[in-house]
Amino acid sequence: MTAADNSFSPSERDGLYRAIRERRDVRSQFLPDPVPADVLARLLQAAHHAPSVGFMQPWDFIVIESREVREEVHAIYKRENAKAAANYEGDQASLYKRLKLEGILESPLNLCITCDRTRGGPNVLGRNSILEMDLFSTCLAVQNLWLAARAEGIGVGWVSILDQQQLAAALKLPDHVYPVAYLCIGYVSEFLPSPELETKGWRSRLPLEELVHGNTWGEQIQSRELEAALTGKTSI
């Protein structure tokens, strides 16, 4: 008996790595073109096929097309952004105020991915020790959707500068449902060659070789082959 061939073809593999490498948090490049229903359905299917602890599938998806709802969420953003801006001083404060950090009203579609913290009952396989595993699982659904969107030529922006309680009220969420990710979604004029915060000088990507440890924190990795591959700037 021979093992099944579960490998991807080189082109399939390269496509996956390209989606990972070229995924961007989009804020400024949204086009008004609507996202077709079949494309959105594929994105939601991709999110729904994310792994989840105990197969609890804690996510729900709120498709937000209403201008009224989006304006209410945008008002929450503006209040929270003013608070966030106060954390910075000098040149950093000036740069922060110039950054565009959301596309709530410009994008043709908003999507909130939530986590039902009661799904699966009081005892979920694999969640006994780490209660936040439902939240972590929902984040995997967000990433699945984000990569699928990039493969479809669709931009996604995660708006994190929001008061979660106010957002939950605006979306009329039940008490046991937590809003994990508020996303702006739509076709874009371009995908920037580098992350926008890097391009604007806010932060640079950290060197991967400085973030890999061996066996315990701070120890050098034992594999010389891996070390050489990391320092040789092996690229996906």
Are 119 and 235 contained in the same domain?
A: no
Question: What is the 3-state secondary structure of 132-170?
Answer: CHHHHHHHHHHHHHHHHHHHCCEEEEEECCCCHHHHHHH
**What is residue 5's predicted lDDT score, i.e. its pLDDT?**
87
The answer as to whether 14 is a domain residue is: no
Q: What is the pLDDT of residue 136?
A: 98
Domain that holds residue 147: 20-196
| pLDDT of the residue at 106 | 97
Q: Domain holding 92: CATH number?
A: 3.40.109.10
The reply to whether 99 and 191 lie within a common domain is yes
Supply the pLDDT for residue 231: 84
Q: Which residues of the chain have pLDDT under 70?
A: 1-2, 233-236
* C-alpha to C-alpha distance for 92 and 90, rounded to whole angstroms: 5
Judgement on whether residues 122 and 189 belong to the same structural domain of the protein: yes
Same domain, 188 and 226: no
Residues 101 and 154 both lie in one domain:
yes
In this predicted structure, what is the pLDDT of residue 232? 78
Whether 40 is covered by a domain: the verdict is yes
